Amino acid sequence: MASTFEVLAEPRRREILDLLRTSERPVGDLVERLRLTQPAVSKHLKVLREAGLVEVRQDAQRRWYRLRPEPLAEIDAWLAPYRRMWNASLDALERHLDSMEDPR
């Protein structure tokens, strides 16, 4: 099975997650919004489902997909040290700019 990082490396899969972030959607809606073929969207959804990033619910003839945010915790944990590094750098820049004299 592909890692979460590998699955998210594909831009269309990230677009699908962005669409699902606000609400669950049927496949047809994703096809329309992404302007892809139904087989292409279904292929991406299968990869996302196998990675645990989305789940599906059957409602009569429609399949509704929704985001599962839990696997994104792996990405968040990996990014945490980089966030701290950037925050420290931005804090240092702010202190430096605050210490400069006003040129007026």
| Domain map (residue ranges) of the chain | 4-99
Q: Which helix (H) or strand (E) holds 85?
A: helix 72-99
Q: What percent of the chain has pLDDT over 70?
A: 96
Fold annotation for 4-99: Arc Repressor Mutant, subunit A (1.10.10)
The greatest distance separating any two alpha carbons of the chain, rounded to the nearest whole angstrom, comes to: 70
- What is the reported pLDDT for 78? 87
pLDDT average, residue stretch 1-12: 87
Residue 100, judged by CB atoms within 10 A of its CB (0-12, 13-18, 19+), counts as exposed
Amino acid residing at 34: L
Q: Which helix (H) or strand (E) holds 42?
A: helix 38-50
pTM > 0.95: no
Q: How far apart are CA 66 and CA 54, in angstroms?
A: 5
- For 32-78, the pLDDT digits (tens) are 999 999 999 999 999 999 999 999 999 888 999 999 989 898 888 88
- For 73-103, the pLDDT digits (tens) are 888 888 899 988 888 888 888 888 889 877 6
Q: How far apart are CA 92 and CA 24, in angstroms?
A: 42
Q: Which residues pair with 59 in a beta bridge?
A: 62
